[in-house]
Structure 1
Amino acid sequence: MNVQIQTLHFDADSKLIDHVSRKIQKLDTFYDRIVSVEVYLKLDNIAHQIKDKIAGIKVHIPQHDFFIKHESKSFEESFNLAFDALVNQLKRTKERKFQVKS
């Protein structure tokens, strides 16, 4: 699995990168045919807006791509919300493929 983490409009600290990397490595437990994962962490520069930290996760599996995006007050929260939604989609996709084969 090829993993890429990109930050836009800021420099991420090692704690945030480690958090993202640890979570992404767990994706193999939910779906074992993941080809690549791209994580986008973006600081939205709109003034006076509370929800200004955006996390997006793009996952490529054979014959399909997923993209989940969430925004909140912190990058960790945004990433965790996006990650949880992505896990749910991967599980549903795996269940559908299993049902089709049965």
Structure 2
Amino acid sequence: MNINFEYKDVSASQRLEAMATEKLEKLESKYTFIVNTDVYFKKENTTSPETGMISEVRINVPGTTLFAQANNGSFEASLAEACNDVAKQLRKKKEKMQTH
């Protein structure tokens, strides 16, 4: 699986990339039909300390693209939430594929 990382208003982080790669490789081992993945990290100016760090995960699978976005106080939390959301979408996609 090919994973592309993009950063907007954030410096590149090996730790975040390693964390994202670990989570996404677990998903790929469970869902072998994943083609490639894009992960975006953005920083947003907010007055609330619980938001502002945005993680987006876009997974390309045959026939469609799955997308999840999360906004939390840290990139780690937002990445975990986005990965959980996209895992739910992958589960639904796999169930649909099996019924056809």
Structure 1 and Structure 2 fold alike (TM over 0.5)? yes
1:38 corresponds to which residue? 38
1:18 corresponds to which residue? 18
Give the CA deviation at 1:49.
Answer: 2.8
Structure 2 gap segments, 5+ residues each: none
Q: 1:97 & 1:71 partners in 2: Cα distance?
A: 30
- Superposition pairs for residues 62-77 of structure 1, below 5 Å? 62-77=62-77
Q: 1:30 & 1:84 partners in 2: Cα distance?
A: 13
Higher mean C-alpha deviation, range 71-80 or range 13-22: 13-22
Which string of whole-angstrom CA distances, capped at 9 and with x for unpartnered residues, describes residues 31-89 of structure 1?
A: 1111110000101123x133000000001011110111010000000000000011111
Identity %: 26
Q: 2:77 & 2:13 partners in 1: Cα distance?
A: 15
Give the CA deviation at 1:14.
Answer: 2.1
1:6 pairs with 2:14: no
Q: 1:96 & 1:22 partners in 2: Cα distance?
A: 26
Q: 1:63 & 1:84 partners in 2: Cα distance?
A: 21
Which string of whole-angstrom CA distances, capped at 9 and with x for unpartnered residues, describes residues 16-45 of structure 1?
A: 221111111112123111111000010112
The one-letter code sitting in structure 2 at the alignment partner of 1:90 is L
Q: Secondary structure at the match of 1:26?
A: helix
Q: Secondary structure at the match of 2:94?
A: helix
Q: Secondary structure at the match of 2:23?
A: helix
Over the aligned positions, Cα root-mean-square deviation in angstroms equals 1.2
Aligned residues between the structures:
99
2:48 corresponds to which residue? 49
TM-score, structure 1 as length reference: 0.89
Moved over 2 A (4+): none
Q: Larger C-alpha radius of gyration, 1 or 2?
A: 1
